Amino acid sequence: MFDMAGQIITPDRAQDFQDSWYSSYYAGAYHGSGTGYGHYGANVTKNELRGWLWRGGDADADIGYNSQILRERSRDAFMGIPLASAAIETLDTNVIGEGLVPAPSVDGDFLGLSDEETAALNKEISDKWDWWADDPRECDFEQKYDFYTIQHIAYQSMLLSGDCPVLYPLTTRPNSMFDLRLRILESDRIRNPMPFDVYKNIFNGVEMSDDGELIAYHIAEVHPLAILRFRYMGVVTVPGRTFRVTPFGGDTGRRNMVLLIRPERPEQRRGVPILSVCLELLKQQGRYVDATVLGAVIQSYFTAFVTSDFPDPTIFNELLSERQKRQIINFNPYNIQLGPGIVNFMRPGHEVKFSNPTQPQHTFGEFTIAVAKFVGSALGIPYEVLLKQYNASYSASRAALLDFWKRVRKHRKQVITQLCQPTYEEWLTDAISLGRIEKFKGNFDDPLVKRAMLRCVWSGASAGSLDPKKEVEAADQRVRAGFSTIEREAAELNGSDYRENIRQQSMEKTQFEDAELVFPPYRPLAGMASGITAPPTPESTKPGEAVQQEGAGGAEQEPVPGQTPSKPSASPVPVASRSKRKIKGGSGARTGLGMLNWPEAPAGGSTYE
């Protein structure tokens, strides 16, 4: 090994070389090299950069040692600063909404199932999932919330505290179908065990191997900030006592818990509250709002102060009794109140003077919006969405909404990956082990079979529409052009399941036909050249009869081949049979059910076959 001068480093010079190398490294790290970026961002001699507190450490030092302060300040800001609360509620409302719902999508081809068997298996899994997810006694360890409310709690806790642990205990309860429960804990519960083992790589309650592999979490039995830190469980619980939870079981490999976290850096053990980057700005904005509102309220008060000159003290000798004199002497001169319609009587010789601070009320709105822009940009929320102000044009408002939904999809993907899909996998494993999925007859212990069974598509609330007509027309064009599917567009437009839409529309169609009413998808569309209704079925048309269709120019008949065309009949098309006819035109024949837009009718009316 050679040093910088090209000389061989002998064993007796090794320690000196190491000390010299470290000193030169840290000198360069903390003082810059004087070249390249050392002239700009890494310069430490310029006046404009000297006051920058930039020294840092690894993820444990920069995040772990500061996490408790950040958690408590973020939660306090959420409880007391309206802008902070609006940011958290906006993200939670859009990312989770009414809840992220699974649509089972097992790989029937791999399992050797037909399309009908695959559909039946998906439906059974979906029905059993609803049984578990909608019942707090089934899914919640505390028996208080359904699964979709648990999503809100876990996600909001992750935003405010940086991370949120969720445990998967198996608990048997009377009259329940499943054993899996979800237990949500606050981030503060993950802490170092007491007594602390200095020979283990444990920091902030997260135990790692020497190679950096996650081994276990240490969770306090009682919340460290709880009012009642002592409670009885046969014996008194010691504050700081923890229990150890491994992410996966050693025997079965099933999950014991997940940690919902928003990672920022490699080798990061604990999460960072999302408000951390703008806590100082939020606090200053909260103080500004409080001071401005208080100043405006005080200025609106009508308060009177009655003062008088101090009289000759001897006049009280004959006018007042000794008791009245003592009352005047003991009168508190500082008992003064401000409020609407209050009259304060001052002691003789006293007067009231007010300072005249400058209240920037005329810039209150501009300053608040400016702060909202800074906070929103840091959190990925356009200020129009954060303040719910859509005063710009349609294009600008839609651009802000689309930009915000990029962040929503990112957060939603994170929640699905870290919470929803693991929960679904653990639930289905529990359901199959208990024999609740009757249509599955395979070997679930086979990893490939298990992977085929655990396929699932998650969907949630959509972004909504600023102009529903334009959104629907655009969705229709994407489906027609082959750029999208009905399933995807149904989820994007209103968050619905297109399979459920088909089932519901089928039932509604039957009910309309039984009542001899026109099913809404068959009714005329506004702005079309001719009224479109569904034609009768082939069985309802007798030989020699023509099918009547009203167009822009009146009624017209399509003659039967080999016969002379007859005059249009005045009798209407039977309503009960308007269901199975097809229309010529466009790209192929299409049925009327679920059509967003009919093919353009040819001159003289639409042609049917």
3-state secondary structure 19-82: HHHHHHHHHHHHHCCCCHHHHCCCCCCCHHHHCCCCCCCCHHHHCHHHHHHHHHHHHHHHHHCH
CB of 382 within 8 A of CB of 376?
yes
CA distance 567 to 546: 9
For residues 289 and 304, which has the higher predicted lDDT (pLDDT)? Answer: 289
What pLDDT does residue 485 have? Answer: 86
Mean pLDDT of the 463-484 span: 84
The answer to whether the Cα torsion of 418, 424, 427, 432 is positive or negative is negative
CB of 94 within 8 A of CB of 81?
no
Q: Which residue has the tokens 């504050």?
A: 239
CB of 255 within 8 A of CB of 247?
yes
Asked whether residue 315 carries a pLDDT value surpassing 50, the answer given is: yes
**3-class DSSP assignment, residue 553:** coil
Mean pLDDT of the 295-314 span: 65
For residues 596 and 118, which has the higher predicted lDDT (pLDDT)? Answer: 118
What pLDDT does residue 608 have? Answer: 32
CA distance 421 to 424: 5
**3-class DSSP assignment, residue 83:** helix
What pLDDT does residue 553 have? Answer: 43
**Mean pLDDT for all residues in the chain:** 78
What pLDDT does residue 393 have? Answer: 81
pLDDT bracket for residue 348 (50, 70, 90): low
CB of 148 within 8 A of CB of 458?
no
CA distance 606 to 550: 9
**Range scoring the smallest mean pLDDT among 98-112, 338-352, 468-482, 491-505:** 338-352
What pLDDT does residue 202 have? Answer: 92
Asked whether residue 551 carries a pLDDT value surpassing 50, the answer given is: no
- Look at residue 312 and tell me if it is in a domain: yes
Tokens found for residue 288: 């500004």
Give helix 82-95 / helix 364-379 axis angle, nearest 10°: 40
CA distance 268 to 258: 15
Give Cα separations from 358 to 291, 355, 361, 533 (angstroms): 11, 10, 9, 70
For residues 232 and 120, which has the higher predicted lDDT (pLDDT)? Answer: 120
CA distance 459 to 373: 30
- Neighbouring CB atoms inside 10 A of 385's CB total 24
**3-class DSSP assignment, residue 510:** helix
For residues 19 and 68, which has the higher predicted lDDT (pLDDT)? Answer: 68
**Range scoring the smallest mean pLDDT among 148-162, 168-182, 484-498, 577-591:** 577-591
- Look at residue 370 and tell me if it is in a domain: no
Residues in the chain: 609
What pLDDT does residue 194 have? Answer: 84
What pLDDT does residue 461 have? Answer: 83
- Look at residue 512 and tell me if it is in a domain: yes
- Look at residue 169 and tell me if it is in a domain: no
pLDDT bracket for residue 414 (50, 70, 90): very high
Mean pLDDT of the 523-550 span: 49
Domain boundary at 317, 351, 385, which?
Answer: 351
- Neighbouring CB atoms inside 10 A of 242's CB total 19
Asked whether residue 215 carries a pLDDT value surpassing 80, the answer given is: yes
Tokens found for residue 355: 């300072």
Mean pLDDT of the 348-360 span: 64
Q: What secondary structure letter does DSSP report for 205?
A: T
What pLDDT does residue 588 have? Answer: 37
**3-class DSSP assignment, residue 550:** strand
What pLDDT does residue 278 have? Answer: 92
Q: Which residue has the tokens 């702005």?
A: 527
Nearest to 377 by CA among 42, 297, 369, 590: 369
For residues 118 and 588, which has the higher predicted lDDT (pLDDT)? Answer: 118
- Look at residue 288 and tell me if it is in a domain: no
Give the residue ranges of DSSP H helices in 497-586: 498-514
Q: State phi, psi for 183 to the nearest 5 degrees.
A: -120, 110
- Look at residue 589 and tell me if it is in a domain: yes
pLDDT bracket for residue 308 (50, 70, 90): low
Asked whether residue 568 carries a pLDDT value surpassing 50, the answer given is: no
Counted domains in the chain = 3
The gap between the terminal CA atoms of the chain, to the nearest Å, is 89
- Look at residue 581 and tell me if it is in a domain: yes
- Look at residue 146 and tell me if it is in a domain: no
Mean pLDDT of the 414-429 span: 96
Determine the structural domain holding residue 313 and report its residue range: 308-351
CA distance 150 to 147: 5
- 590: CB partners within 8 A, 6+ apart: 582, 583, 599
Percentage of the residues of the chain whose pLDDT score is greater than 90: 39
Tokens found for residue 282: 């939020």
- Give tens-digit pLDDT for 52-71: 888 888 898 899 899 999 99
Mean pLDDT of the 185-210 span: 90
Amino acid type, 556: E
Asked whether residue 92 carries a pLDDT value surpassing 80, the answer given is: yes
Q: Which residue has the tokens 């240490």?
A: 218
Domain boundary at 294, 318, 351, which?
Answer: 351
- 50: CB partners within 8 A, 6+ apart: 44
Mean pLDDT of the 541-548 span: 45
List 557's β-bridge partners, or say none: 548
The answer to whether the Cα torsion of 132, 133, 137, 141 is positive or negative is positive
Mean pLDDT of the 399-408 span: 90
CA distance 181 to 142: 9
CA distance 264 to 335: 55
Domain boundary at 351, 380, 414, which?
Answer: 351
pLDDT bracket for residue 312 (50, 70, 90): low
CA distance 596 to 609: 21
Query: What does 439-480 look like in DSSP terms, one character per residue?
Result: T--S-TTSHHHHHHHT-EEEE------SSHHHHHHHHHHHHH
What pLDDT does residue 484 have? Answer: 86
Percentage of the residues of the chain whose pLDDT score is greater than 70: 69
Asked whether residue 359 carries a pLDDT value surpassing 90, the answer given is: no
- 513: CB partners within 8 A, 6+ apart: 519, 575, 576, 578, 579
**Range scoring the smallest mean pLDDT among 41-45, 254-258, 352-356, 543-547:** 543-547
CB of 275 within 8 A of CB of 160?
yes
Asked whether residue 264 carries a pLDDT value surpassing 70, the answer given is: yes
- Give tens-digit pLDDT for 117-161: 998 999 999 999 999 999 999 999 999 999 999 999 999 999 999
Give Cα separations from 199 to 59, 71, 125, 202, 349 (angstroms): 20, 28, 47, 9, 75
